[in-house]
């Protein structure tokens, strides 16, 4: 090996807690802060329109002091309101331009206050009933403590680790939903990928008939998609009905239900994969890079289906996040021929729906199994053809690629998840350290 690199990543995860029933005084203070932040956004929007500027710097100069005084808000909330106001005005203006018509100015809604790690804190108390409390700013120099609901062991262990500084704390959000309050805390840790002499690949083929086929040590585990497709088709019908009736509230509710359902499935599949990977020495997870635009019906079909039935990318993202959190490397391979090559004699055949049959030898198997086997094999072959250094480089490279291509979407997805859900890991900021 001539050169090697160690790749360092900062990965982050959002853990969500429901706030326990609050005493009346505290609830009112939080609602007041939320209301005041709406008012602050409105005031900044007015300033923005009046002075024809969406520059945060200018808006700050124009209104910061007065708005802090007017609403007695802490600096961090006023900064957010200012940024939010300029975002709203910018997107309103661009929509007006794009659609070339008069659109009413949107009403700001503030169901969320974001705190940076300086003003937000979690503490552990001797209190038997409520062990963990979040300390939040609700007004200028006014701090309150709110009890967190900690139901599961994983939540507890994250909080304990955070308090013991095994993780770094990122920003935290106080979220109001209906009459409930939630706290979303971002935790971060640095993970390191060291180049290995040999890898144990897990090949994953994502699809529709089988949501995923996972090939470990030559054996395949199938995650059948029948029920998911039926569910999706049913929900599509229901959505169409509400769409026709123009019932946006119900439409949103169904979309939420759909998202939670698929999120749950993705969570189960990805957890299974990560648990398998942990049993191996030097595991690496190999998946197809579906952003390749290739002239194969398979990929085109997959691309088309992404919006229609199942988001492959979402499942891949969830696997990737969980893997990176546990320092398991991910490689994306070019999907060319992964569905066509015979694993036994290496000749090329067209796949015939769900069954793969080789014309040259007697090999016959489930087509998705063949896909997963070939994905795994493709990685092993690349190892035997190239030296390990370049494979390790390739691993680093594929990290970068997936990050720039998909992290935006994934983030959007992650932040849409409300309520208490299993943690979703995000990848943030890449720092490569090259050791020659
Ligand atoms: Zn064959």
360 alpha carbon – ligand 1 mean position (Å): 5
356 alpha carbon – ligand 1 mean position (Å): 10
240 alpha carbon – ligand 1 mean position (Å): 45
Which structure tokens are listed for 311? 């988001």
346 alpha carbon – ligand 1 mean position (Å): 6
Q: Residue 323 in contact with residue 285, Cβ under 8 Å?
A: yes
* Residue 242: its H or E element: helix 226-244
* Residue 306: predicted pLDDT: 45
Q: Residue 116 in contact with residue 168, Cβ under 8 Å?
A: no
201 alpha carbon – ligand 1 mean position (Å): 23
371 alpha carbon – ligand 1 mean position (Å): 14
352 alpha carbon – ligand 1 mean position (Å): 14
* Residue 111: predicted pLDDT: 81
* Residue 423: predicted pLDDT: 34
367 alpha carbon – ligand 1 mean position (Å): 13
The answer, as to whether pTM is greater than 0.75, is no
Residue with tokens 């199938």: 222
235: nearest Cα among 313, 309, 312: 309
Q: What torsion, rounded to 10 degrees, do the Cα atoms 394, 399, 405, 407 define?
A: 170
Rg of the chain (C-alpha set): 25
Which structure tokens are listed for 300? 């085109």
Distance CA(419)–CA(256), nearest Å, equals 11
The phi and psi torsions of 153 (rounded to 5 degrees) equal -65, -35
CB-based neighbours (< 5 A) of ligand 1, an ion: 342, 344-345, 358, 360-361, 363
Distance CA(414)–CA(320), nearest Å, equals 14
331 alpha carbon – ligand 1 mean position (Å): 26
Classify residue 148 by burial, with Cβ atoms within 10 Å: 0-12, 13-18, 19+: buried
Note down pLDDT in tens along the chain; length 436 residues.
334 567 777 888 899 999 998 888 999 999 999 999 999 999 999 999 999 999 999 999 999 999 999 999 888 889 989 999 999 999 899 888 888 778 888 888 768 888 888 889 999 999 888 899 999 999 888 899 999 999 889 899 999 999 999 999 999 999 999 889 999 999 998 888 777 778 899 999 998 788 899 999 878 999 998 888 888 888 888 999 998 998 888 999 999 998 899 889 999 999 999 999 999 999 999 998 876 644 444 545 554 554 444 567 789 888 988 998 888 888 888 888 888 899 888 888 877 778 899 999 989 999 999 999 999 988 888 766 554 444 444 444 344 333 323 333 333 333 332 223 333 333 333 222 222 1
Q: Residue 41 in contact with residue 88, Cβ under 8 Å?
A: yes
Q: Residue 67 in contact with residue 42, Cβ under 8 Å?
A: no
Q: Residue 276 in contact with residue 202, Cβ under 8 Å?
A: yes
Q: Where are the domains of the chain?
A: 12-23+114-189, 29-111, 193-435
Distance CA(13)–CA(278), nearest Å, equals 19
36 alpha carbon – ligand 1 mean position (Å): 69
């Amino acid at each position: 090996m001539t050169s090697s690199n160690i790749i360092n990543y900062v990965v982050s995860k959002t853990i969500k807690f429901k706030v326990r029933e609050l005493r009346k005084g505290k609830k009112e203070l939080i609602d007041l802060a939320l209301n005041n932040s709406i008012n602050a956004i409105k005031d900044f929007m007015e300033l923005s329109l009046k002075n024809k500027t969406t520059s945060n710097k200018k808006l700050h100069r124009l209104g910061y002091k007065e708005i802090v005084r007017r609403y007695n808000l802490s600096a961090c909330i006023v900064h957010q309101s200012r940024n939010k106001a300029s975002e709203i005005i910018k997107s309103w203006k661009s929509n007006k331009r794009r659609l070339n018509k008069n659109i009413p100015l949107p009403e700001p809604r503030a169901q969320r206050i974001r705190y940076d790690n300086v003003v937000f804190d979690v503490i552990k108390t001797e209190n038997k009933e409520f062990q963990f409390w979040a300390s939040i700013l609700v007004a200028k120099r006014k701090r309150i403590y709110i009890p967190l609901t900690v139901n599961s062991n994983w939540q507890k262990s994250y909080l304990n680790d955070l308090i013991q500084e095994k993780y770094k704390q990122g920003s935290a959000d106080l979220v109001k939903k209906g009459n409930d309050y939630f706290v979303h805390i971002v935790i971060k840790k640095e993970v390191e990928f060291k180049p290995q002499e040999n890898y144990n690949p897990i090949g994953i083929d994502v699809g529709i008939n089988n949501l995923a086929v996972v090939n470990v040590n030559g054996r395949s585990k199938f995650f059948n998609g029948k029920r998911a497709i039926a569910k999706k088709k049913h929900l599509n019908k229901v959505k169409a009905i509400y769409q026709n009736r123009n019932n946006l509230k119900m439409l949103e509710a169904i979309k939420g239900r759909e998202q939670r359902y698929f999120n749950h499935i993705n969570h189960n599949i990805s957890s299974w994969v990560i648990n398998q990977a942990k049993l191996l020495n030097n595991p690496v997870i190999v998946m197809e890079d579906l952003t390749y635009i290739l002239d194969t019906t398979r990929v085109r079909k997959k691309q088309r289906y992404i919006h229609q039935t199942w988001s492959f990318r979402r499942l891949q993202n969830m696997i990737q996040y969980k893997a990176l959190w546990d320092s398991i490397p991910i490689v994306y391979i070019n999907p060319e021929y992964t569905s066509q090559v015979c694993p036994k004699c290496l000749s090329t055949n067209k796949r015939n729906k769900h069954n793969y049959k080789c014309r040259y030898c007697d090999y016959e198997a489930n087509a998705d199994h063949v896909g997963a086997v070939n994905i795994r094999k493709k990685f092993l072959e690349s190892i035997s053809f190239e030296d390990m250094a370049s494979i390790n480089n390739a691993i680093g490279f594929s990290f970068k690629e997936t990050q720039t291509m998909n992290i935006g979407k994934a983030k959007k997805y992650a932040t849409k998840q409300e309520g208490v859900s299993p943690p979703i890991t995000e990848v943030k900021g890449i720092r490569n350290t090259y050791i020659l």
